[in-house]
Amino acid sequence: MARALNLVVTGVGGQGLITLSSIVARAALRRGVDALVAETHGLSQRGGTVIVHVRLGDVDAPLVPPGGADAILAMELIEAVRYLGYLRPGGTVVLNDYLVPPPLPGIETPSASSLLDAIRRRAGRIVIVPATRKALELGDARVANMVLLGAALEAGVFNGFIDAAAVEEAIRESWPKAAEVNLAALRAGRALAKSS
């Protein structure tokens, strides 16, 4: 297979998945690595399930094939399991320890532990961080995505493609005014992954 990194980024619409993926792509571009980020817009964004395909390196097609993802970055537990079929055998799952029950009356929500078990059965490696809780501590729930990205960096998901400095540069470029809280979130994510 060609030299490429395939990622699936998933969660619930509104959790900043497109932003997370764009930061990855911008960081890649800074290191001269080609990138394709296939996003979900419009209807599906309204609190629905969201999947973003991120492909770096020598790639042509926009979508990651099932069984072809080197890693899944998930902002929510149910959505992590929903797209497990994309993970290649032995792949890594970087996970926000956060469960959002779908707001449908009478729907049964699986327990966090049963979801984690499903991920463990499939993943070669699993890194869990409390990204949403950490973001609320930092004063802004919206930066949970950067906490997760920090954890993925620390877990080595991007090794050989992008480094932490490139991600920090991409953050500064994207939010000239609000870089600090996002950088703090990124670093918090790295620290959490290191200790997990």
Partner 1 sequence: MPRYSEVLAPAGGKVLMLGNVAIARGFLEAGVQFVAAYPGTPSTEVVEALAAAARRLGGRPYVEWSVNEKVALEAALGAAITGVRAVAVMKHVGLNVAADPFFSSAYLGVEGALVVVSADDPWMWSSQNEQDNRWYGLHAYVPVVEPTGPQDAKEAAKLALEYSARYKRPFLLRSTTRISHTRVPVETGAIPVEELEPRGDFSKNPARWTLIPQYARMHRLELLEAWDRLRRELAGFPLNRVEGSGPVAVVAPGLGYRYAREAVKLLGAEDEVTIYAVATPVPLPEPLAEKILSHDMVLVVEEGDPIVEIQLKTMAVEVDARTRILGKRGAQGLLPRHGELGLEKVAAALAKVLGRELPAWTRGERREPGVKLPPRPPVLCAGCPYRSFFYALRRAANKLRLRPVYSGDIGCYSLGILPPFEVQDIIVDMGASIGSGSGMAHTLTGGGRVVVAIIGDSTFYHSGVTALMNAVYNQSPLLVVVLDNHTTAMTGHQPHPGVGVDAEGRAAPEIRVEEVARGIGVEKILVSDAFDIRDSEAKLIEALRYTIETRKPAVVVARGACILVALQQARRRGIKPPTYYVDPEKCTACGICYKAFNCPAIQRGEDGKAVIDPALCTGCAECVQVCPFDAFKPSQEPPEEWTVIMRTAKPA
Q: How many helices (H) and strands (E) does the chain have?
A: 7, 6
- Cα torsion at 76, 41, 168, 90 (round to 10°)? 50
Q: How far is the CB of 29 from partner 1 (least distance, A)?
A: 5
Does residue 180 interact with partner 1 by CB under 8 A?
no
Task: Compare residues 67 and 156 and give the one whose CB is closer to partner 1.
Answer: 67
Q: Give residues 40-99 in contact with partner 1 (rule: CB under 8 A).
A: 40-49, 59-63, 65-68, 78-79, 81-82, 84-85, 88
64 Rama sector, left if φ>0, alpha if ψ -120 to 50, beta otherwise: beta
- The rounded distance, in Å, linking the Cα atoms of 190 and 196 is 10
- Residue 80 DSSP SS3: helix
Only one of the segments 12-20, 150-158, 160-168, 180-188 lies at the binding site for partner 1 (rule: CB under 8 A); that segment is 12-20
Helix (H), strand (E) at residue 17:
helix 17-30
Q: How far is the CB of 48 from partner 1 (least distance, A)?
A: 3
Binding residues vs partner 1 (CB under 8 A):
1-2, 12-14, 21-22, 25-26, 29, 34-49, 59-63, 65-68, 78-79, 81-82, 84-85, 88, 100-110, 114-115, 117-118, 121-122, 132, 135-136, 141, 144, 173-176
